[in-house]
Structure 1
Amino acid sequence: MHKVLLIDDDMALTDLLSDYLLQQQFDVAVANSPERGLKMLKQLDYDLLLLDVMMPIMDGFEALRQLRQFSNIPVIMLTAKGDDYDKILGLELGADDYLSKPFNHRELLARMKALIRRLDSNTGFAAAKKFSLHGIQLDEASHLVSVNGTSIVLTGTEFHMLLQLMKHAGQLLTKDQLSEQVLGRKLAPFDRSLDMHVSNIRKKLAHHGATEIIRTVRGNGYMMAAPSE
């Protein structure tokens, strides 16, 4: 049974959502404040975090900033406004996915299962490989990534995005393909999540000297420069 932490100050919602997720065979813990949730995340291991944005004292964005200093747990942000700015900021800070309130519980469940499937796939290392390209070293089994000899920290989604691009260096990967392979779902119209994940990866690579490695094929998708380039 996978362990999920839900951080939201809306007790009525957390009660309803907890009951639903328990019925779906998840082990659910609840924190009604980010401060409490961060303490729980330091004390116990969870497989997935559901994080609300609009909370008093400390909002979800600040909680995510602090979280990413010590954990790469997959995070789905729950945004009340459905504002593009909120979604983009959450992804820039390291969220794996987002869902606007009010949301359909089945849609949330589908996104949770997609991240969990990716998590479970990491336990089978028989076919795991090491990749080295353009100064980037990626170990599929350990999830360690370095650029020109310096280790970098990627979220789970960023790691899998980079992995797919390195596996298919020199080949175009459409946004539809990347969404299915990395996010585990079909790409929705006007969904900016893939673009933001790629942007985050580019910034982290460029910080250590790997620039112009991931190319945008306008209107289609992304590709990593071929090994010979």
Structure 2
Amino acid sequence: MPLNLLLSLHDEVFEALIADFLVFCNYEVRAAYSQQDALNYCQNDNFDMAVIDIKEEKDAQFVEYLLAIKPELDILALIHEGVSNDVIKSLRLPQEQLLSLPAPLVSILEAIKVANESRQNEKLKSLTPVTIGSLCIDKQNATASVHGVPLTLTVTEFTLLDLLADNLNAPVSKDEIYPKVLGRPRGQFDRAIDVHISSVRHKLHQLHCDDICIESVRGVGYRLCKQD
């Protein structure tokens, strides 16, 4: 089945050129001629990947909104010349999902293929349960256990624990957690994730999961750590 791609670029001529090229390469393509159209399309249709060009900070915010609507959506960001490193870092995308412009069409095609291969590898990884000390996470079935005893979690709590486990020993910012776990950007004075963290900690403690802990990282977010 061909990949279903969403294009949202500033230059309509460039967008039409890329769309025609990708259709020729047997991709399903829908071009959005405004960022609002792209958001609407994401709400009503399923896409494997969105190709977005980045010129300024508001484009990075647009990417954040897209991921809030569809956290599972892959993004290929085409970076225009002169975009600051701060804006690029704010995208929080893997290096293989960033491509500097100008770039030939074949380079854009190759970047799409690389990003898709990374997605498929992640899917394969999800088939194998992950064990961290006494905690076992089964991504395929969205279940977890401690010392072999089922850990009763809500969907949100499982997604949160799974995200922290994927970043074992590394802090995960609240700005990253909110879109991936709650499907929306973090609001001002928003404590929703703190409440879910408290619940997960309590449930781990009830099952005597003493060899891992969820640490608060001041000014950043949370980190899952394995105790020695």
TM-score (norm. length: structure 2): 0.60
Q: What pairs with 1:1-229 in structure 2 (closer than 5 Å)? A: 1-54=2-55, 59-72=58-71, 73-80=73-80, 81-91=82-92, 97-121=97-121, 128-133=127-132, 138-141=137-140, 150-152=157-159, 163=166, 200=172, 204=177, 208=197, 210-211=214-215, 229=228
Deviations 1:75-118 (A, max 9, x none): 111221343222101117x9972112212322222221122223
Which is further off, 58-67 or 2-11?
58-67
User: Percentage identity across aligned positions?
Assistant: 12
Q: Point out the structure with max Rg over C-alpha.
A: 2
Q: Given that residues 53 and 77 in structure 1 are in contact (C-alpha distance below 8 angstroms), is that contact kept between their aligned partners in structure 2? A: yes
* CA distance 1:24–1:144, shift in 2 (3 Å): farther
Secondary structure of the structure 2 residue equivalent to 1:210? strand
TM-superposed deviation, 1:54: 3.0
Secondary structure of the structure 2 residue equivalent to 1:45? coil
Distance in 2, matches of 1:153 and 1:96, equals: 25
Number of equivalent positions: 178
TM-superposed deviation, 1:228: 6.5
Secondary structure of the structure 1 residue equivalent to 2:70? coil
State the partner residue of 1:218: none
TM-superposed deviation, 1:211: 3.9
TM-superposed deviation, 1:11: 0.6
Distance in 1, matches of 2:49 and 2:144, equals: 22
Distance in 2, matches of 1:145 and 1:77, equals: 34
Give the root-mean-square deviation of aligned CA atoms.
4.3
Unaligned 5+ segments in structure 2 are 146-150, 178-192, 198-212, 217-223
Unaligned 5+ segments in structure 1 are 170-197, 213-223
* CA distance 1:130–1:124, shift in 2 (3 Å): closer
